[in-house]
A and B are shown apart, each in its own frame.
Chain A
Amino acid sequence: MAGRTRDRIGFMSCQCECVSYGLGTLMVDTENDAASEESDEVQYDPDTSRYDIFECADCDNVVLALGRDEPPMSCHNQPMERIRSIDMSVKTPDVKQVLLEAFGLPKAGLDICLCVIGEGPLSANEVAETLGYDRSTVTRYLNKLVELGLLRRSELNREGGGVVNVYHSVDLERMRRETLIGFYVWAGEAAALIEEANVTKQEYLDENPDQDLPEVFWDSFPDD
């Protein structure tokens, strides 16, 4: 069954600790072929999902809610309804790709984090030897991780003078909040791009009502 879903997802405020974000206008052509779905795709199941998606019955507002058990989100002062099914599936996200894409976390930085979890304290030289990086590379990416807010750097006094830099994890609760919100900002930016593409797609359909939409729509349009 072919279907077209048009969801508009807006920023929502909430008085509890949940976090929601908007995805702009999303139009999806689902020339679906269930049999051809890749095994690495994930289907949204509201009964088992770790998040909830709500929609407004009166407008096209859709929100994502994470970290709460009790609906509802509200829109127009009315409870929003939990979405029970969707037509499209998405690829299962890979945590490395999420970190790389959303935060620009360089692979070396991720390697460093994964290398030392639970193993500290390690010297920068040990990390470099373990990963096969230059010591200077390790130091550079440690500082990058600090810039990204994923690590903290403290200067400790060194016997005989000078300092010793210590890179350590940030407060876990703070890190959880920062990374989640940071990802939502990234997702919002991505959603804005999707909305822009969909608006353009709609314009194409309006201008070319008798033509099929190109398979990869955006490839048909040169960059401005």
Chain B
Amino acid sequence: MCVTRRTVLQELVESTDAERRETTTVEALASALAADERTLEEHVDALVTCELAHVEADGRIRATITGEELLALDTDEVIIVDPAGRDGRSNA
């Protein structure tokens, strides 16, 4: 089964909680989405780069507050995530 990065984020947001620091594993995500773990790892790595997912010290993963807010935008197609500094300027 081919999963998209957005699908992975959706599953991650549904199965974890940023505020309560509830986490899951790549294996659990892969199982839930019927996808292979390597593909899931690639998507999770990308989501971490976008600051939409976070990897805890023990290797477990969760969605970030940013990731949850992004899905709450309910936009058809989120396209680019550009982390900015505290002053709101992009980190170019």
A contact set with B: CB distance below 8 Å: 112, 116-127, 134-136, 138-139, 142, 151-152, 154-159, 161-169, 172
Considering residues A136, A156, A157, which has the most beta carbons from chain B within 10 angstroms of its beta carbon? A156
Q: How large is the interface on B (under 10, 10 to 19, 20 to 34, 35 or more residues)?
A: 20 to 34
Q: Are A157 and B5 in contact (CB under 8 A)?
A: no
- Chain A interface, DSSP helix/strand/loop, else mixed: mixed
Given contacts A120-B78, A120-B79, A121-B9, contact A166 B51 (CB under 8 A): no
CA of A122 to CA of B5, assembled, Å: 9
Is B57 among interface residues, defined by CB-CB distance under 8 A? Answer: no
Q: Are A168 and B69 in contact (CB under 8 A)?
A: no
> Of A120, A126, A135, A163, which is within 8 A of B77 by CB?
A120
- Chain B interface, DSSP helix/strand/loop, else mixed: mixed
One digit per residue, 1 when the CB lies within 8 angstroms of any chain A CB and 0 when it does not, for chain B 18-48 equals: 1000000000000000000000000000110
> Of B69, B70, B77, B88, which is within 8 A of A169 by CB?
B77
CA of A172 to CA of B77, assembled, Å: 10
B contact set with A: CB distance below 8 Å: 5-6, 9, 18, 46-47, 49-52, 54, 64-66, 69-70, 73, 75-88, 90, 92
CA of A151 to CA of B79, assembled, Å: 9
Q: Can you offer 17 A-B residue contacts whose CB atoms are under 8 A?
A: A116-B80, A120-B6, A121-B47, A124-B81, A142-B80, A155-B84, A157-B66, A157-B69, A158-B51, A158-B66, A159-B65, A163-B84, A164-B51, A166-B73, A167-B80, A168-B73, A168-B75
Chain B residue numbers with a CB within 8 Å of A169 are 75-79
